[in-house]
Amino acid sequence: MTARKIVTPPNPTLRRTAHKVRAFGPALQTLIDDMIETMRVAPGVGLAAPQVDVSQRVIVVEYAEQPEDPEAPPRPAKLYAAVNPEIVRRSHETVLGNEACLSLPGFMGEVERHEWVTVKGQDRHGRDFKLKPKGFLARIFQHEIDHLNGVLFIDHATEVWRIEEMAAQENLPPV
């Protein structure tokens, strides 16, 4: 596995609709492995192929919902590799939340997303799957699938700010 370079604007791949994956051969497996490595090194909780300058409909997500009880042991993260993912259902309920993006370093924004979504697609071997993430995991899937359609979180944000400015306002050290 090799960590790839994460592209930033104005790289045009970020604004294009990614191509559907039709071949599930060694090149796709290498791309997915490299994306996982890149996401972990960055570090992040999700990554879409356009963010590594590959116009294919592939995302990786790694996240664990943590128990509400602070005394409970943390849950292990679950890794998803989704090929040709699409959102086929959405909750009527939405929630505002803060988002950042590996392709927009130093920025955060407040984005309204659906509380849950139903995602269908294929796993890395071409097998069909369907899942229904909710909460923050649903937010991650919506964010990454947006990348496949040339959409960045700033396109949905009601407010965007520099992380350093927020830290200065709250007298926090910059991250």
What is the rounded distance in angstroms from the CA atom of residue 130 to the CA atom of residue 87?
Answer: 10
**Can you give the pLDDT at residue 71?**
86
Q: What is the pLDDT of residues 38-76, one digit of tens each?
A: 999 999 999 999 999 999 999 999 998 887 888 888 888
Sequence letter at residue 97: G
Please give the tally of structural domains in the chain.
Answer: 1
User: Which residues form the domain of 27?
Assistant: 12-169
Are 59 and 148 contacting, i.e. CB atoms less than 8 angstroms apart? Answer: yes
Strand 107-114 relative to strand 128-131, pairing: unpaired
Q: Is pLDDT above 60 for 175?
A: no
Domain CATH number, residue 33: 3.90.45.10
Amino acid at 58: V
Residue 111, domain member (yes or no): yes
Tell me which of 144, 159, 165, 170 is the catalytic residue.
Answer: 144
**pLDDT tens digit sequence for 84-141:** 999 999 999 999 999 999 999 999 999 999 999 999 999 999 999 999 999 999 999 9
Q: Give the global pTM.
A: 0.91
| Cα separation values, 114 from 52, 78, 83, 131, 152, Å | 26, 21, 21, 15, 16
Please check whether residue 67 lies inside any domain of the structure: yes
Q: Which amino acid is it at 79?
A: L
- Quick check: 144 pLDDT over 70? yes
- Whether 112 is a known active-site residue: answer no
